Amino acid sequence: MAKYICEMCGYIYDPENGDPDSGVEAGTSFEDIPDEWVCPICGVGKDQFKKMD
């Protein structure tokens, strides 16, 4: 599964870790995160993330 980076603050969403503080379990792909999820660092939405190469 691909990692995604926040274009605003540089936070990297790693699906292996998920975002447990926001209720996103480890193993959750970025596409499967709820649309209302926001970056845990700066608070922007999923549309501000891009797939890492």
Residue 15: what pLDDT?
Answer: 98
Residue 53: what pLDDT?
Answer: 85
Q: Are 11 and 39 in contact (CB under 8 A)?
A: yes
Residue 5: what pLDDT?
Answer: 99
pTM: 0.93
Name the residue range of residue 22's domain.
Answer: 4-51
pLDDT in tens, 1-53: 999 999 999 999 999 999 999 999 999 999 999 999 999 999 999 999 999 98
CATH number at residue 35: 2.20.28.10
Q: Which residue has the tokens 């999820």?
A: 37
Residue 52: what pLDDT?
Answer: 98
- Into how many domains does the chain fold? 1
The pair of three-digit structure tokens given for residue 5, joined into one six-digit string? 């980076």
